[in-house]
Amino acid sequence: MTIKAGDTLPETTFTKPTESGPEAVQSADFFKGRKVALFSVPGAFTPTCSAKHLPGFIEKAAELKARGVDEIACTAVNDAFVMGAWSKSAGAGEAVTMLADGNGDFAKALGLTMDGSKFGLGTRGQRFSMIVDDGVVSVLNVEAPGEFKVSSADYMLGQL
């Protein structure tokens, strides 16, 4: 079953890269009491993700926050070390929090996985974005396979 607007996010544990090493983050704690713009990419360092998706949210961070977003987070079925390296490489800094979904538990719980085996990626999370208010999905934008339209920062700005 795929998550939809109005649903509460499932309980899961992300791993957040930090200067002192990987840190476990419970989803309920992360999303509690605030508005989070969350986006998912099929993989760190992949072409569209690195050229458009993450850079768009870095560029639009101030605008998203000016419209009531408390935090911007990116998730992918990658480990925390890869997500940390990608964040540094992209210059995400404090603009975007990386939440590694290393085993794909979050993507599976949402019902938003994809089979990237044809590209040597295995099971990954689909490309999507959502606005989460106090743990509840208020807006969900899932991309059609191979597309990058409705999960962008610009598209999300139009929804706030």
**Which positions are catalytic?**
49
Distance CA 50, CA 42 (A): 11
Residue-wise DSSP of the chain: ----TTPBPPP-EEEE--TTS-EEEEHHHHHTTSEEEEEE-S-TT-HHIIIIIHHHHHHTHHHHHHTT--EEEEEESS-HHHHHHHHHHHT-TTTSEEEE-TTSHHHHHHT-EEE-GGGT--EEEPPEEEEEETTEEEEEEEPPTT--STTSHHHHHHH-
